[in-house]
Structure 1
Amino acid sequence: MGAVNAVSKDEKKPVGSLELTCPSDETLKQFKLQRRIVAFFIGGAGDKESYYGFGPKNNVDYARTPFTTSVNLAEYAAGCTSFHLGYNQVIGEDNIKANVLINLKCKSDAVYIVGHSLGGWNGAHLSSILADMGYSVKVLVTLDPVGNGAMVGAISNIYPETPKPKAGLWINVLAAPDKTNFSDFIAGMGEQWRLEDGPNVNSKMDVNHEEADIMFTTVLADEKSALAYVIQSINKHFRG
């Protein structure tokens, strides 16, 4: 079982932009561009497109912003690309070919998946699909994943079976707000995917379901945010 810790709103420490470098060394490093990483930020219901009249809200794209800022500060930024996709775009062979595989040039590409809500559920499935195809999924981040409910499965384009993720590192964040809002009501209808084991880092946070960016940038276990774990992995990939 991974590390489990609760983070309250008073304890949140947004990481903001991070330079692609060792946590103990704040200087940017120069590398020969020999490797490549591709990150997929996958949104949930009403994220990239309207969901029964709700949205689009672009919640996971707000989480992509600090990632993009960090990458743009690096000397090897040209080797890093990221894409904002909807959960509908990563299910089924045709969609995966059109929206995911088209952006992967070779099996040596390092893949990073950040999924929020229904995008966390379908993104977890995508991690195992890509791994079975021979791609290296370095980090999977699931931000308050949703998809356990029978009703949401009947009205949403998600995989019916529970995901079995495959990634070098899996970080999961469960939203457990003291004060709920409409986004939490929607997530409750879909039923959160509550995990007792599986993720390497498994955290619960006092945050609303819609706040994907806060879940992604707030410090978790080991004094690192999900973003910091991703950046550390990218450093390792380019140094390898």
Structure 2
Amino acid sequence: MPAEQIKLPNGNTASLSVTPTLTVVKDQTVKTAPVPAKKAIVFFIGGAADQEKYYFQGAFHNIDDAQKLLDAKIAGNKKLKTKYTGLPKSYKDARGSGDIQTHFIDNIPSKSCPVYIVGHSLGGWNGAHLSQILSEAGYTIKFLVTLDPVGEGFFVWLGSDIYFSEPTPVAETWINIRANASKPDNSDGVADFGERWIIEAGPTVNKTIDRHHASADWMFIEPVQGTKSACDLIFDSINGIFGQ
């Protein structure tokens, strides 16, 4: 902005300095971007007729019984209560990019959060696929637990929203438990029809126990490493990260 010229009484001219007008900024607070809280995210993925009806059966919520066991252990530790989220999901939620985004990725605050997947029956099959998908997207899968996974059968693939190919799981620790009841019940017959995923190699722990297919809770607390169950090992992992 040019200085204003004025004429003095003696005939000379002079320039007046111009002081710029400053606009006062009313909001002078420092803006900070919110940082998502780091916490453990545990997905419990049920099989057919678990979270919703499967044709004329269910919903039985077998995976919910497994989740309650870990929830109870977490609830007994004050430091971990705010550092843990357990979410029950259907096996169908773990297939298709849109469903995976909505039901899984959107529930993980950030890629710094440790992720745990516990899948039963068809949820074990799709959950194993999910472990690879999330890992490739940059998430850390601390534990994958497959409880009597099912999905090898052609007809169950035709009638269910599961992956056709055999999974290639990615996890720091993979625990697989196969149910082989000495006195089979109806749930074992259903698992046989869907064809259990018989895993010969790959898991960190691979154990067969005398339990019914429907007993997701009993499989989850079966000792698999000394006296420790899959439930115990997941708790220990979460406590090791957040409980110190």
TM range (shorter): 0.7 to 0.9
Partner of 1:27: none
Residues 229-238 or 55-64, more deviating: 229-238
Partner of 2:42: 39
TM-score where L is the length of structure 1: 0.84
Q: Using the TM superposition, give the Cα deviation of residue 236 of structure 1 relative to its aligned residue in structure 2, in angstroms.
A: 2.1
Equivalent residues in 2 for 1:75-90, closer than 5 Å: 75-90=79-94
Q: Using the TM superposition, give the Cα deviation of residue 224 of structure 1 relative to its aligned residue in structure 2, in angstroms.
A: 1.1
Partner of 1:95: 99
Give the alignment partner of residue 49 of structure 1, picking from 48, 52, 72.
52
SS at match of 1:134: coil
Residues 46 and 122, structure 2, Cα contact 8 Å, conserved in 1: yes
Percent identity for Structure 1 against Structure 2: 43
Name the amino acid aligned to 2:67.
R
Residues 35 and 238, structure 1, Cα contact 8 Å, conserved in 2: no
Residues 38 and 109, structure 2, Cα contact 8 Å, conserved in 1: no
Residues 43 and 88, structure 2, Cα contact 8 Å, conserved in 1: yes
Residues 187 and 209, structure 1, Cα contact 8 Å, conserved in 2: yes
Residues 44 and 63, structure 2, Cα contact 8 Å, conserved in 1: yes
CA RMSD of aligned residues (A): 1.1
Residues 83 and 242, structure 2, Cα contact 8 Å, conserved in 1: no
Give the alignment partner of residue 114 of structure 2, picking from 98, 110, 115.
110
Residues 215-224 or 46-55, more deviating: 215-224
Partner of 2:234: 230
- Separation of aligned partners in 1, 2:86 and 2:243: 20
Partner of 1:4: none
**Structure possessing the higher radius of gyration over alpha carbons:** 2
In structure 1, stretches of 5+ residues that fail to align are 1-33
Residues 71-80 or 44-53, more deviating: 71-80
Residues 65-94 of structure 1 show CA distances to partners (whole Å, capped at 9, x for unaligned) of 010011111222111001000001111101
In structure 2, stretches of 5+ residues that fail to align are 1-36
Q: Using the TM superposition, give the Cα deviation of residue 218 of structure 1 relative to its aligned residue in structure 2, in angstroms.
A: 1.7
Residues 39 and 114, structure 1, Cα contact 8 Å, conserved in 2: yes
Higher RCO structure, 1 or 2 (CA under 8 Å, sep 6+): 1
TM-score where L is the length of structure 2: 0.83
Equivalent residues in 2 for 1:1-20, closer than 5 Å: none
- Separation of aligned partners in 1, 2:142 and 2:241: 9
Name the amino acid aligned to 1:147.
G
SS at match of 2:165: coil
Q: Using the TM superposition, give the Cα deviation of residue 188 of structure 1 relative to its aligned residue in structure 2, in angstroms.
A: 0.4
- Separation of aligned partners in 2, 1:181 and 1:107: 42
SS at match of 1:220: strand
Name the amino acid aligned to 2:174.
W
Q: Using the TM superposition, give the Cα deviation of residue 239 of structure 1 relative to its aligned residue in structure 2, in angstroms.
A: 5.6
Aligned length: 207
SS at match of 1:113: strand
Partner of 1:15: none
Give the alignment partner of residue 141 of structure 2, picking from 137, 140, 145.
137
SS at match of 2:115: strand
Partner of 1:64: 67
Name the amino acid aligned to 2:46.
G
